[in-house]
Structure 1
């Protein structure tokens, strides 16, 4: 994997290397916190280092994607020079209160992990495979750890306060004397204050220690006054801040190790080695998807041969007028044409215009006559709520363009983990630019439906889906703000997103709508719509809904296995990186093919049942797999995740619903357009007088 081919940063001996602090995150909650917002870590002193013209604590400029993913990167007071080992360096002594101790315990109990950055590499925890043949990295390192007291069995919490940095380097290619960094490992350790020298450094850096326990003895005098003569002390009173403090010394060590086994262009590979074992499962997922798509493809071929190449071969069955269609004369098994009736029949014509008796048609042919062919005068009738369907399809095309661009750029290596926040930033840029496609397709469909007020349709297209998206993010952001989490978007970022939406995307939607409505012609339908709508058998609306949900199970089966890996990396193992977009791209293509095939099958079945209300049904069928993905999210929450707290659960279900809605809108658009193209094709083979 060749990621960082843009510019190689090389260092001279004893050249200062900046270490940046970012945030802490956990697999058990989506809430993240900026590192310097923690009250129990060393605060920045503002001291300038040779590696940066700014003092420590200075915020690094972030792109939009980094802000949205909760990054808060700042310079630090760590002093690191290329090739210079440091046995021990004292950083600070931090005094914390009971409330700070309580919060630190909560964070450690939720398995929070710290993320620091050196030369654009996240500080990694090193792991080795069972046979010790390979090593791999996980981003970040533990904030602390838990243990149990051997005396009373109570849980104890320990904070890591000494950090050993192992920086792996090799000679820079083509640069005499230069060195490049190919690995950044962090080994945290908890060392008590009693095991340190006057300088603050441990007596033995590599020694074994019991650890720095996060514990402040209760104020017995205050508790005795509050609970005289009582041996029971409530937990909430033990944590009441009474002014007592705990001193935490922070130190670090730095070691440089030459490693020629890693190329600079491949230094991110170690962060993905843990995914190599799953390549077999990815191939199984791909084979499973191809088999399902192949089976559906055979069914579609049968339908296609039955309609376009069979029943309507050449110019079709012939003339279809007011329920009367011209069919080919049927030959008997002996090769002779069936005998004609002596008297006129019910109006069915053969290819020569001669009337043929009812007995000359097989049951299969009579079923075809009374099926989809009779709907030629109603199949293109404007659907109910067409003013909503057109904007939804337009927004779906916008999402389809954005997703295609993201997958293509990821497969080409342009979007990769070294480009921090690039996936989200480029995704938002593509989404905004795709407003052109959204407006164009929405306006053209709206014009095909006979709409007159294209500006109203444009406003609905530009405001409906982006407005709902922005509103949900804004409301959720209010809850996250209350938690003082870095996951909360700053007010300036919200204003910037609103400006992108209203000042850039809305004009692009207007331009696209103008071209789609004013300059482009409406889609011409191959058959004429009758003045009076054909009566269809009364059916419950729930029947069509349940049919669409049943059809959604098939695309979900295609995507199911790959969802396991996506969910695991996004929800269970945030220290890892999901970068198997080659598999995901192929699966996505097969998924869209499967959705198209499933939509064709269900639409044909609906038309054969003489039900011409296919517009919304095809949209629901295409997007119905989103329902099963959301059900899978609920199952995953209860069975796989260890999420704590109302806020974490609210964020999980809200963002899961939002993601499924985006997926459903995209796939629903694919289903709608597929059904429309299929119906246009089969009815264009039926000549109508």
Structure 2
């Protein structure tokens, strides 16, 4: 047993090493070479793209053009994949024109003028002020790599943020908010300071001694600054650009930039994301905490498995011994009492005639199982591909695109699993079963998503999915997923009913009075604690990635936690199922699904805690959006974990009642 645990632990550590190392680099992504003179092998112009602006204080992202910034006269939008559209990314070209190895200083981009008596100008300026008040962040892209703002934090560490703020605010009571704390000159009360200048530094790796032409970009950083420039001849020095809280005179905002190039051959192109990922906050704590959590979960899993194996082994040996004694010893001997005594010790054998009695609401349970199987396979394949590096941060939107496409193509397993169990439960309304499998849970998710999208449309957010994309999603659902679900259901109903190891009695057995811990609700509530314990650390960083706009890249650990989650859900459900059968409660079908599925309830509670303790979200729209999207995650996680527990318990019950001889 010890040797087996060591082997499993060694495989786990190997998986971490392989997946974590390969997670930084996207296989097949071709590097782009730059040189001072454009040739067939390299290019001179470095295109700077701008993405949506977002904030940790608001769920609503906005397109770059919504703010009154400088725009590109020949604006072009690169093609966006489905994942980028669903996440609200809106990438477009910028007016910042960069040429390789051409250092420039204080280059004017444009000037925006605001008249105090013009309502449109006042509205545009108020929107920029609102963005500064909520700490909205720019997101720029160079060579498919984020332009980062690197600054020193506590303990002399450097943090590289893949975004930089529009500006900052000093409140009427003189309190400097957000980025205003970095400059002592930002001290005037009730004043906004716009970051209208950026110092850009682009680091490249020269290919002179590498066997390839030109140079490859390995880092792009900037430092935002605020200068009150003359609109005709900007100098990029002097006092900061102040925007009064109450505008009383005309205002001119001149945007400028400076750029310099640095050579650094120590940084390889394949590892150019490392300086961003390594500087993520609490990265070292994350590694230690996850490892600690995995060791604890592995230990608990081993304990549960050992208890189950030893207990079941004793039960099976005792029952087999009783059966042999009853054959050898004369009926005149009072052997029936020893048999009854053995049965009273563990009553799971006494319910053999009822344990496979079809459950109530078998239609709904079979539908949940079909959808859960579809989500499980989709999650496994997606995480495996992400672990190999195909869905790294360099490939924007690939993770969501992969998940959606896989879900659409996995309608066949959903229909097959649902039909097989519904037929086993004795159901006859096969049409209703297939339609519910194809439409019920996806319909709930789509209805929630559509309502959230309406709010985004009303708010004018870039995260609002265009009508054409919604039609495309519906086409994928009804044109591909639904027919595949029908095809899977056809093969599922065509198969014979699953054979059970024991016959079911015609008259249901009366269930004795249960203790508090063997009643359904306490058992279900306790069943979700252990699975949640193995995911809550990863859950914190996943929520940070979604709502705090931090990059998530540790797919190796996530895949390992996924495997551990499967083990803990299975073992916790099997353990509680065994206790309930010993208490002669044979209603295990729904209980096995809900026991591990209740982990989703802990997920929701943790999301509520995260909202009030970690986030600074303000506004009714942002709050509704947060909980609306959280409910989608909770539903998907409920189906996922519930299906894992059910299949584990289904295998366990079939196994014990087929091994033990039952008269």
Please tell me the TM-score bracket, short chain as reference.
Answer: 0.7 to 0.9
Contact 2:26/2:390 (<8 A) preserved: no
1:527 aligns with 2:502: yes
Residue 398 (structure 1) aligned to one of 374, 381, 388? 374
| 1:319-468 mapped onto 2 (5 Å cutoff) | 327-329=323-325, 349=326, 354=331, 356-357=333-334, 361=338, 365-368=342-345, 371-468=347-444
Over residues 326-372 of structure 1, what are the superposed CA-to-partner deviations in whole Å (9 max), with x where a residue is unaligned? 5454xxxxxxxxxxxxxxxxxxx456674642696399624246x11
Give the root-mean-square deviation of aligned CA atoms: 2.6
Instruction: Give the match for residue 645 of structure 2.
Output: 671
Name the count of aligned residue pairs.
Answer: 614
Counterpart-to-counterpart distance in 2, 1:286 and 1:353: 60
TM-score scaled by structure 1? Answer: 0.84
1:161 aligns with 2:136: no
1:120 aligns with 2:144: yes
1:100 aligns with 2:114: no
1:591–1:666 Cα change, 3 Å: same
1:607–1:635 Cα change, 3 Å: same
1:280–1:130 Cα change, 3 Å: closer
Instruction: Give the match for residue 102 of structure 2.
Output: 84
1:304 aligns with 2:322: no
Residue 66 (structure 1) aligned to one of 79, 84, 88? 84
SS of 1:213 mapped into structure 2:
strand
Counterpart-to-counterpart distance in 1, 2:330 and 2:374: 49
Instruction: Give the match for residue 573 of structure 2.
Output: 599
Contact 2:159/2:280 (<8 A) preserved: no
Structure ranking higher in helix proportion: 2
Cα displacement (A) at 1:486: 0.5
Counterpart-to-counterpart distance in 1, 2:173 and 2:582: 74
SS of 1:182 mapped into structure 2:
strand
SS of 1:17 mapped into structure 2:
strand
Instruction: Give the match for residue 49 of structure 1.
Output: none
Q: Which 5+ residue runs of structure 2 have no aligned equivalent? A: 1-20, 38-43, 115-120, 175-186
Cα displacement (A) at 1:571: 2.6
Cα displacement (A) at 1:613: 0.8
Counterpart-to-counterpart distance in 2, 1:64 and 1:446: 34
1:362–1:388 Cα change, 3 Å: closer
1:198 aligns with 2:232: yes
Instruction: Give the match for residue 185 of structure 1.
Output: 221
SS of 2:259 mapped into structure 1:
strand
Counterpart-to-counterpart distance in 1, 2:559 and 2:410: 20
Cα displacement (A) at 1:153: 7.3
1:624–1:511 Cα change, 3 Å: same
Counterpart-to-counterpart distance in 2, 1:353 and 1:481: 83
Over residues 115-135 of structure 1, what are the superposed CA-to-partner deviations in whole Å (9 max), with x where a residue is unaligned? 111110111111346665x75
Instruction: Give the match for residue 587 of structure 2.
Output: 613
SS of 1:643 mapped into structure 2:
coil
Q: Which has the larger radius of gyration?
A: 1
Cα displacement (A) at 1:278: 3.1
Q: Which 5+ residue runs of structure 1 have no aligned equivalent? A: 46-54, 219-243, 319-325, 330-348
SS of 1:443 mapped into structure 2:
helix
| 1:630-649 mapped onto 2 (5 Å cutoff) | 630-649=604-623
Contact 1:160/1:212 (<8 A) preserved: no
Instruction: Give the match for residue 222 of structure 1.
Output: none
Over residues 190-212 of structure 1, what are the superposed CA-to-partner deviations in whole Å (9 max), with x where a residue is unaligned? 212xx42633x2x2x3x352323
Cα displacement (A) at 1:465: 0.9
Instruction: Give the match for residue 31 of structure 2.
Output: 8
1:34 aligns with 2:70: no
Contact 1:462/1:505 (<8 A) preserved: yes
SS of 1:188 mapped into structure 2:
strand
1:86–1:328 Cα change, 3 Å: same
| 1:561-576 mapped onto 2 (5 Å cutoff) | 561-572=537-548, 574=549, 576=550
